[in-house]
Amino acid sequence: MPERAIGIFDSGVGGLTVLRELRSQIPDEPLVYLGDTARVPYGTKSSSTVLRYAHEAARFLLDQRVKFLVVACNTASAVALNGLAERYQVPVIGVIEPGARRALEVTRNGRIGVIGTEGTIRSGAYERALLAGRSDVVVHAAACPLFVPLAEEGWACHEVARLAAHAYLAPLLQKKIDTLVLGCTHYPLLKQMLQEVVGPDVRLVDSAQATAKAVASRLGEYRLLCQTTPAPLPRYFVTDIPDRFKRVGGAFLGKELHGVETVSLD
């Protein structure tokens, strides 16, 4: 089992920020990534639709005989994680729980902001995870639908992104949050600009980093850490043709993407 790969899935390229963190934190692990690029984005779709897509993605990765499943998509984590964990035999981890836990560690005043897609915010999943961990925190959430296209456009530091960030974050800053959870796997690309907009007194929580840390710790717990080195290069599967995934994803990873195959889930 340990020599098997970790399966990671997302609606598109965003989950590559989690893959990047996994590569950096546990470089010996073989990785298989699935981006459902024919149906991206999940963030504006209903829970029942996202649930169906998540099960299809999980089944595909299990067919690749993965030892561990990372739902590297906030929307899918919000609506499908429990169902996936119940149905399948491998350990399943999402991005919400680790991000929420990290936010509870770093907040001092107990006022936590959460930003994400419409679907993630509407689900209230971060709020539930945060309040389950510590019932006296106050959570202020905001959907930021423009951040994903801004990140994919390569406009992370563009004045347009800065202005949008001011518009989205002003209400949260008024509530005196001291911690802001980046509740979407695209947002780490905007981190520098977001830090400038919120100022040095607000700590940003990168759920991609927190998730990779949680995966490493769970793999150790289950004695699933890979002993063979070096790890092969990650394998990438997408549901649409790979051109755009390679181009935008390459920018996400900071290097060229190779070995991307198209598969059908529906």
Reading the block at residue 28, the tokens are 């010996």
User: Minimal distance in Å, beta carbon 39 to its own copies?
Assistant: 5
Residue 240 found at the interface with its own copies (CB under 8 A): yes
Residue 173 found at the interface with its own copies (CB under 8 A): no
Binding range to its own copies, per CB under 8 A, among 92-100, 146-154, 186-194, 217-225: 146-154
| CA 123 – CA 111 distance, rounded (Å) | 19
DSSP strand pairing (68-71 vs 6-10): parallel
| CA 47 – CA 81 distance, rounded (Å) | 12
Residue 217 found at the interface with its own copies (CB under 8 A): no
Residue 167 found at the interface with its own copies (CB under 8 A): yes
DSSP structural state of residue 178: S
The end-to-end CA distance of the chain, in Å, is 28
Residue 171 found at the interface with its own copies (CB under 8 A): no
Active site residue 226: no
DSSP string for 225-251: ---SSSPPPPEEEESS-SHHHHHHHHH
Residue 145 found at the interface with its own copies (CB under 8 A): yes
User: Minimal distance in Å, beta carbon 167 to its own copies?
Assistant: 7
Cβ–Cβ < 8 Å for 172, 139: no
Active-site residues, by number, are 73, 184
Question: Which residue ranges make up the site for its own copies (CB under 8 A)?
Answer: 37-40, 44-46, 48-49, 118, 145-146, 148-150, 152-153, 155, 158-160, 163-164, 167, 240-241, 243-244, 266
